[in-house]
Structure 1
């Protein structure tokens, strides 16, 4: 069966988003404890492109499959994990790129910020998927926790959308809220 990407974020309600996220079947990485370790000879560039032995992986379905096996340990090392092997993978910045965002409001009036990643994964920012601010005041960088310690960096247009949303709420204080999580968008000095 061919892969069918999820609909555009703008077309999805918060309930639709929850359905789409639940429908994405991910491997149980936290239940696997492979004994064999090695090097995958793979690299994820800062722009989100994947490489194996220097050549770009151009098949989106393959990148999507590999991305479902990603984890990051406490030391910051990224790994591709299967039940039998744990292979290191070089990541220049973040493993994913957030390419779009939308603010959704639920029936109770609560808001949630939803992101689409370069792998077509959908992530709703909140306590389990926090947004953190890195970089400096001159060059901020915004990262979204995706799963297993792996993050997505918001691309320029997506963090522009986020800043515009924050400014529409309060032109002085750059703060957003998503699923009860309050996030200041100014890097710590």
Structure 2
């Protein structure tokens, strides 16, 4: 059965965005305790491209399947986890890339910001998926928590969309956005 990508973010209502975010069925990685540990011989480049033994993985369905098995430990090491083994995977920057965003209002009129990842997954910015700002004021880097310690880096156009939105809702000197009742500052910590 061929993969059918979800519709463009701009075409989805808040209810549809929430349904898309909740629809992805993921394995219970936090319940698995594999005894075997090894190396996957895989790498995720800074641009989100996946490689195995130096060759690019060109099948999007394989990337989506592997992405559901990713975790990152407290030391920053990324792992592909199955019930039987835990394999190290090299990640140049972040495991995912946020490629688009949209802002909707919930029933109380509060903003909800949705991001689409390079794997077509939709993640809603909020308490469970906060935004982290790194880098410097001259060269900031924005990271969205996805799950199990794994993050998505906002690409340049998505970063631009987020800043444009922030400029419409907050003063430049206190640049921030709100989503799902949480406020996220858009300046790196000093």
TM-score of the aligned structures, taking structure 1 as reference length:
0.98
Find the counterpart in structure 2 of residue 141 from structure 1.
141
| Separation of aligned partners in 2, 1:71 and 1:64 | 14
Find the counterpart in structure 1 of residue 185 from structure 2.
184
| Separation of aligned partners in 2, 1:161 and 1:186 | 15
| CA-CA distance at 1:102 after TM superposition | 0.5
Structure 2 spans left out of the alignment, 5+ residues: none
Give runs of aligned pairs for residues 87-166 of structure 1, distance below 5 A.
87-166=87-166
Structure 1 spans left out of the alignment, 5+ residues: none
Which structure 1 residue ranges, 4+ long, deviate > 2 Å from structure 2?
170-173
| Separation of aligned partners in 2, 1:23 and 1:151 | 19
More divergent stretch after superposition (110-119 vs 3-12)? 3-12
Q: Over residues 106-135 of structure 1, what are the superposed CA-to-partner deviations in whole Å (9 max), with x where a residue is unaligned? A: 121011110000000000000000001001
Superposed CA RMSD = 0.8
| Separation of aligned partners in 2, 1:186 and 1:22 | 30
Q: What SS does the corresponding residue of 1:26 show, helix, strand or coil?
A: coil
| Separation of aligned partners in 2, 1:82 and 1:13 | 35
| Separation of aligned partners in 1, 2:22 and 2:143 | 22
Find the counterpart in structure 2 of residue 174 from structure 1.
175
| CA-CA distance at 1:163 after TM superposition | 0.4
| Separation of aligned partners in 1, 2:143 and 2:36 | 31
| Separation of aligned partners in 2, 1:76 and 1:37 | 16
| Separation of aligned partners in 2, 1:95 and 1:159 | 17
| Separation of aligned partners in 2, 1:48 and 1:96 | 6
Number of positions where the alignment pairs a residue of Structure 1 with one of Structure 2 = 189
Find the counterpart in structure 2 of residue 23 from structure 1.
23
| Separation of aligned partners in 2, 1:110 and 1:98 | 22
